Structure formats: structure tokens, C-alpha cells
Amino acid sequence: MSDQSLSRPWLATQIYRLYRDGFRQMTVGRTLWKIILIKLFIMFAVLKPFFFPNFLATQFATDAQRANYVIEQLTQSAPGSVQPVKGESP
């Protein structure tokens, strides 16, 4: 084994350095990361919990209850009106 290969860092170290140096050398990337983090914070810490609850997940405890609710919606939402027959305009 040569001295050169002995001094070569492990793959994990190389990957770590790739990311570390890459992030350190970022210029516009820093601004972009700030945008990404602010955006994710707004989405997951504000919008999702306060404005976008999963309706069925929060209203019902089990899948059977959710299925029952949706079937009720499907069977009780149909209008009973008689429709025009072919060729007749309303």
C-alpha cells in the first residue's frame, strides 16, 4: 500500500467534505436556502397545522368511520330532480 493511498480519506469523509465545502462556498445559495427554510416553516409550521388539517384524519378515529362518512356523502348527495329527456331543451 502506497503512502498516497494511506493518506486518502475515507469515502464518508470525502462526502462530508464535499457537502461542507460546497455549503461554505455558496453565495447566492445562502439566500436560496433561507428562502427554502422560511417557505418550509410557513408551510409546515403555520399553514398545515392551522389552516390545512386533514379533514377525515382529524374528524374520525378509524378508517371504518372515514369510509362510512364518505359513503354517506356519496349516497345522500344525489339530487332527486328529473332530468330533461333527449332532444328537449330546458
Partner 1 sequence: MIENLDLSMVNWARAQFALTAMYHWIFVPLTLGLSWIIAFFHTIYVRTGSEEWKRLTKFWIRLFGINFAVGVATGIIMEFEFGTNWSNYSWMVGDIFGAPLAVEGIVAFFIEATFFAVMFFGWNRVSKGFHLFATWMVAVGSNLSAVWILVANAWMQYPVGQAFNPDTARFEMQNFFDVALSPFAVNKFIHTTSSSMMVSALFIISIASWYLLRGRHVLLAKRSIVVAATLGLVASIFTFYNGDESSYQVAQVQPMKLAALEGLYEGQTNAGLVAFGIVNPEKKVYDTQPAFHGPKIQIPGLLSLMANRAFGTFVPGMHDLVYGNIEHNIVGAAQKMERGKKAVADLDAYRQAKKADDKAGTEKHLAAFNENKEFLGYGYLDKPEETVPPVTLSFIAFRVMIVLGILFFLIFIAYLYFSARKTLERKKWLLGLGTITYVLAMIASQAGWIVAEVGRQPWAIQGLLPVTIARTNLTAGAVQTTFFMFLVLFTLLLIAEISIMVKQINIGPEEN
Question: Least distance to partner 1 from the beta carbon of 3, Å?
Answer: 22
Measure the CA–CA gap between 14 and 5, rounded to whole angstroms: 14
Determine the longest span between alpha carbons in the chain, in angstroms: 92
Measure the CA–CA gap between 21 and 27, rounded to whole angstroms: 12
Would you say 6 or 57 has its CB closer to partner 1?
57
**Chain residues that interact with partner 1, rule: CB under 8 A:** 18-19, 21-23, 25, 27-29, 31-33, 35-36, 39-40, 42-43, 47-48, 51-57, 63, 66-67, 70-71, 73-79, 81, 83-90
